Amino acid sequence: MDKEHLAVMVFQSAQTYAKETAVRRKIDGIWQSHSYQEMGAIIRQIARALLATGVQPGDRIGIFAPNRPEWTWVDFAILAVGAVSVPIYATNTPHQAAYIINDMAMTIIFTGDQEHYDKIQAIKDGTASLQTIVAFDDSTAISGRQSQHLSQFQTLGADQSLDGEIEARLDAAAASDLATIIYTSGTTGEPKGVILTHGNIFHQFKAMEGQFFVGPGDRSLCFLPLSHVYERSWTYYIFKCGAENNYLANAKEVIETMAEVRPTVMVSVPRLYEKIYAAAVHGLEQGSTLKKRLFHWAIGVGKRYQYQLKEQGSADSWLSLQHKLADKLVLSKVRDVVGGPKNFFSAGGAPLAKAIEEFFFAAGLLVCEGYGLTETAPMVTFNTPKAFKFGTVGKPIVDCQVKIAEDGEILVKSPSVTQGYYNKPEATAEAFRGGWFHTGDVGEFDADGFLRITDRIKDIIITSNGKNVAPQKIETVYAKDHFIEQFVAIGDRHKFISALVVPNFVALEAYAQEAGIAYRSDDELVKNDVVQAFYRQRIDACSAELANYEQVKAFTLLPRPFTQESGLLTPSQKIKRKAVTEAYAAQIEAMYPAD
């Protein structure tokens, strides 16, 4: 490749993999596809349209939409003219979107459906810089001279003589050019714009090459938000390698879509694996004794078989024979749930329980957990198909230095690390001390050089008995339960650990019906004595793998989930712990009557 630049890369892929399928998405129940050649032509036309509107190198241009091919096409087109792509989470409020638009002095924004267009319309008068709103859907009702549909905007790029200017800008481009500014979720304050260059992202490619094999014929399911660096960098890599990206706008449909698309590679967050595991375990609870024995036998055989392959390169004949039977009866059915065999899964963004990793491993599905942040574009460490250890987030990627500070904080130096935060010199100085990027995460290396994350520094619970407790470890244990949707461990300056628990209401309502529990609302359901006892039993069962001081002694069932709209979740679905403890202060206090 001539240079480390994402737009140069995609245009080269458009030539190299011209006839291969680049993108697929479902419209009115039918999957539609575009080849690499078609994608390259669309990106170039949108880039010409941006030039026709006067976009200059360095201009900030926004994308405010759920996942869809247009998201990626516009992203690459912005980069092709030397501008800076600024994503906004599709779940953001108008106020949150306005903050980013104003912070960026954004001139153009592309919007998804009617909802996203309307949000921008509602705040456009309070954004001095915004000149143009481009709606992806022709069906979006637009108004005002500032607005147009993408199909109309693309006609501005009909003049192919503008290709010369695109090539001139690409010739002048460098790896050090700013590619994107991605706003962090803001768990502890207003979001910060993370500056990432083309070189930052290309270092991720360097880290993956030779470790993860992806190419034409591979299929990925793009369901995590493209506004997040994890799915975004992975999508870039998919197109670098000539693979196929299947776009899913509604992440709630991921499991059924996996069975339909049958992806061979994909990235995900732990919650997907937790839900599949919890559903499988719950199905066992409802099954016969014979079914339970068969399932546990098959998983046990699968684990032994896979570990022998890993450690010895082959399995003995008797185990291989047992595995063939176990695979036919049980393990293949687990793979079918996620759309068949995989080269690998990837997991990041939160801890994943070792038991869940081994469950998938037994079924022949390797989940390679990694660790990183927006500021590191994103990966710092990862497990690979060649070198993995469950319960860890792997080893540092190539050319990346990681060390543990005296207080346990993970410090990083890497070519993928950001230059800093846009317009926030104080926050940048705070994050970069002594030449190292301070992640805010706590971790430790084991004897084999694999990193284990224990928690966030600011999240560590210190009980009144002086015990340091990592809430993420606790929450990972309880997240495996089929009847639990959200779980927040509480206990700072208290004698014991308690929890705020949001039930999986679909599962709970089915249980209530079977148990003959009458209720008129979710508020009434969570207060029911039988339900309370049911959850006490399940929480106690999960507690067996925790130390006594980590176990949940009291809990409160909540009738409504934590949401971004309520201010209790970030756009990337992380819990805002401070906001949660403030919002539920009365319920928390009630769990500690003797304090």
The CATH number covering residue 315 comes to 3.40.50.12780
In a domain, 210, yes or no: no
279 and 339 belong to one structural domain: yes
- What lies within 8 Å, CB to CB, of 248 at 6+ separation is 25, 67, 221, 222, 223, 254, 257
pLDDT at 491: 94
Q: Would you give the DSSP letter of residue 575?
A: B
- Residue 348 to residue 507: CA distance in whole angstroms: 26
In a domain, 202, yes or no: no
- Residue 479: alpha-carbon gap to chain centroid: 17
Query: What's the predicted TM-score (pTM) here?
Result: 0.89
Contact status, residue 247 vs residue 266, Cβ threshold 8 Å: no
pLDDT at 218: 97
Both tokens of residue 188? 């502890």
- Residue 112 to residue 231: CA distance in whole angstroms: 18
14 and 149 belong to one structural domain: yes
In a domain, 245, yes or no: no
Q: Phi and psi (nearest 5°) for 143?
A: -150, 150
User: Which of 345, 335, 405 lies closest to 369 in space, CA to CA?
Assistant: 345
In a domain, 550, yes or no: yes
282 and 396 belong to one structural domain: yes
163 and 15 belong to one structural domain: yes
pLDDT at 286: 83
pLDDT at 193: 97
Q: Phi and psi (nearest 5°) for 417?
A: -75, 140
57 and 108 belong to one structural domain: yes
Contact status, residue 345 vs residue 266, Cβ threshold 8 Å: yes
- Residue 4 to residue 7: CA distance in whole angstroms: 9
Tell me, what amino acid is at 325?
Answer: L
Expressed as residue numbers, the domain containing 545 is: 460-590
517 and 436 belong to one structural domain: no
- Residue 80 to residue 16: CA distance in whole angstroms: 18
Per-residue pLDDT of the chain (595 residues), as tens digits, is 469 999 999 999 999 999 999 999 999 999 999 999 999 999 999 999 999 999 999 999 999 999 999 999 999 999 999 999 999 999 998 999 999 999 999 999 999 999 999 999 999 999 999 999 999 999 999 999 999 999 999 999 999 999 999 999 999 999 999 999 999 865 556 789 999 999 999 999 999 999 999 999 999 999 999 999 999 999 999 999 999 999 999 998 999 999 999 999 999 999 899 999 998 888 887 889 999 999 999 999 999 999 999 999 999 999 999 999 999 999 999 999 999 999 999 999 888 999 999 999 999 999 999 999 999 999 999 999 999 999 999 999 999 999 999 999 999 999 999 999 999 999 999 999 999 999 999 999 999 999 999 888 888 898 888 888 989 999 999 999 999 999 999 999 899 999 999 999 999 999 999 999 999 999 999 999 999 999 999 999 999 989 999 999 999 999 999 998 898 988 878 888 989 999 999 999 999 987 6
- Split into its structural domains, the chain has a count of 3
CATH number, residue 482: 3.30.300.30
- Residue 505 to residue 220: CA distance in whole angstroms: 30
Out of 438, 456, 474, a domain closes at: 456
In a domain, 334, yes or no: yes
Contact status, residue 39 vs residue 14, Cβ threshold 8 Å: yes
In a domain, 143, yes or no: yes
71 and 166 belong to one structural domain: yes
User: Which residue has tokens 């022949």?
Assistant: 364
- Residue 395: alpha-carbon gap to chain centroid: 20
pLDDT at 189: 63
In a domain, 348, yes or no: yes
pLDDT at 350: 82
475 and 437 belong to one structural domain: no
384 and 363 belong to one structural domain: yes
324 and 392 belong to one structural domain: yes
- Residue 338 to residue 357: CA distance in whole angstroms: 14
Instruction: Cite the DSSP H helix spans in 317-353.
Output: 317-326, 332-337
Contact status, residue 299 vs residue 330, Cβ threshold 8 Å: yes
User: Which of 147, 160, 163 lies closest to 110 in space, CA to CA?
Assistant: 147
First-to-last alpha carbon distance for the chain, in angstroms, is: 64
438 and 474 belong to one structural domain: no
542 and 584 belong to one structural domain: yes
Out of 421, 440, 456, a domain closes at: 456
pLDDT at 468: 84
Query: What is the number of other CB atoms lying within 10 angstroms of the CB of residue 128?
Result: 9
Half-sphere exposure of 274 (CA within 13 A, CB side): 23
- What lies within 8 Å, CB to CB, of 346 at 6+ separation is 212, 234, 265, 266, 267, 268, 367, 368, 369, 370, 382
